[in-house]
Structure 1
C-alpha cells in the first residue's frame, strides 16, 4: 500500500503543471480536476473525518484559503509531495457520508509550552457537524494522536510525541480498549537505571491509528476498496492560524 501511495505521488507530480502567471512572474499550481475514484492515504499523515456530505460547508468552517477543485489523484499526491505538503490540505468529496480533510499542516498539539489549537478547532467544527474526528500518524518523529468530538462534546483526545504524552482528555473509548496495550510497540526506555531499567515508553503504531479510524469512521487506507462514484474534491492552503505558537508568558 505504501508503494501505491508513492506511485500516486509520482503520478501527481507529472500531472500538476507549474504555470508561469502572465506579468506577475509567479508560479502557481494547477491541479487535475477530472473526477476519479477515491485514493488511499493514512501512512505518515494527519486528517480530519467530518460526518457531512457538505464539502463546501467544511471548507468554509475551517477557513481554508483559495480552495480550488482537485481530484483524488492530485489531492493525495499533493499532500505527500515534498514541495507542497507543508502548505496544502486536501478536502475530499464525501465517501459514505464522511468528508476528509488531509494534510501535514493540520494544527497538532506539540507540547505544554505551545497553544493547543486542535481542541478549539474541533469544538468549533462540532457546532455545525455532529461528529468530528482527528487522526495523526508520523512515526519518524514519534507523533501519534486521535480525538473525537460528538454532538458538541469532547469524547476523547490523545496525542503522544517524542517527549511523551502531550494531550490526554476523556475516557478510553471501547475502540481504544479493543486495540490492547500489549499490541503497542516498545520504542524506548526512559531514565534507565542498571539492569532493571526505568519507566517504559510505549507508543501506538500506524496500524493501530488506522484501526481506530476504522472503528470510529473509515480507515482511509482502505478507501479505494469502497464503492463510490467518481468525484473531485478541493485543494487549499492551510490557514496561517493553524501554525504552532508558543504560550505567552505573563509579564
Structure 2
C-alpha cells in the first residue's frame, strides 16, 4: 500500500513587525547581549547613507532599542537602530550585526568579511569607526576601532568555545589603562593560549594565598586589585566604550544633559547579517 504523500513544510511565517514610536525620548540604556557601532556623526541618516542602507522609518530610543534586540528567524533581515547623536556619536545597534573574525580560515563562515565591509565604509566616510559587543552566556566579547590613516585594532573572544577570533593591532592606551591583558602582536591562536596561561597563573597565585591561611575572598582581592579577571568580560566592553566614545549602560544617569531625540530603523542586508550572538557556542 502506498503511503499518502506528506505535505511539504509550511514556509516560515515572518513575525509581525515591531511597532515604532516617533515621539522623541531620552537615550535608552543598553550595552549587554548586543553589538553596536559608534561613529562621529550629527544625524543617523548620515550613517545609513554611508552604508547604503535604506531607512525603514523613524523610531525613538525605547522602541528602537527594543527592535534592535529582537531575534529574527526564517531568513528575516535583522533590525538595527541608528540612534540620535549622543555626545557627538551616532550608535548603530543590532543583535544581528557581524563582528570581527580573522580566525579560523573561513572567518566564521564569512562573518569576518561582512564586518570588514561595514567597518571600512564607516571608517572611510567618517574618519573613525568603533565597534563593541558582548553576550554573557557565551562569554562573548568584542571591540574594534579604526581611524583613517592609522593601524586598526580588533579583538574578539568567546569563552564558550575558548577561541580568540580576532586580535589585530597593538593594544590601545585605553585598554592598557583598564588593565586588559597585553596581547599585542599575537595571532588569535597565540592570544588564546596566552589568556589561558595568564588565567592559570592567576588561579595559582590565589590558591597559594589560600594555602597560606588567607580567605579566598581576600586572596581574590589581592590577586585582582582592579576587580577584573584576565579573561575579558562584558563590563570590560562597556568600560572601553566609555573610554573610546560613550558607555551606553550609563545613559540613565541623572544630570547628563541629554535631550529627547528620534533615530532611524533599518535592516541589515542579508549578505551582511549573522545569527545572533547567543548559545549554543559561536560557530
Which TM-score tier does this pair reach, normalised by the shorter chain?
A: 0.7 to 0.9
Deviations 1:173-223 (A, max 9, x none): 1111122147xxxxx969x9xxx9xxxx95311111110001100001112
Query: Of the two structures, which has the highest relative contact order with CA contacts closer than 8 Å and spacing of 6 or more?
Result: 2
Compared CA separation, residues 26 and 90, structure 1 to 2 (3 A): closer
Q: Does 1:106 align with 2:97?
A: yes
Partner of 2:245: 217
CA shift, 1:59, in A, is: 0.8
Q: Distance in 2 between matches of 1:82 and 1:121?
A: 21
Q: Does 1:87 align with 2:78?
A: yes
Compared CA separation, residues 28 and 154, structure 1 to 2 (3 A): same
CA contact (8 A) 1:65 1:239 kept: no
Q: Which has the higher strand share?
A: 1
Partner of 2:132: 135
Compared CA separation, residues 65 and 167, structure 1 to 2 (3 A): same
Q: Does 1:145 align with 2:142?
A: yes
In structure 1, list runs of 5 or more residues that go unmatched: 1-24, 183-187, 246-251
CA shift, 1:86, in A, is: 7.2
SS in 2 for 1:90: strand
CA shift, 1:78, in A, is: 1.7
Which moved further from structure 2: 39-48 or 148-157?
148-157
Give the alignment's Cα RMSD to 1 decimal: 2.9
CA shift, 1:238, in A, is: 1.1
Compared CA separation, residues 36 and 121, structure 1 to 2 (3 A): same
SS in 2 for 1:234: strand
Matches within 5 A, 1:1-251: 27-82=16-71, 87-109=78-100, 111-112=103-104, 113-114=106-107, 115=110, 116=112, 117-161=114-158, 162-181=161-180, 203-225=231-253, 226-244=256-274
CA contact (8 A) 1:72 1:92 kept: yes
CA contact (8 A) 1:38 1:72 kept: yes
When Rg is computed on C-alpha atoms for both structures, the one with the higher figure is 2
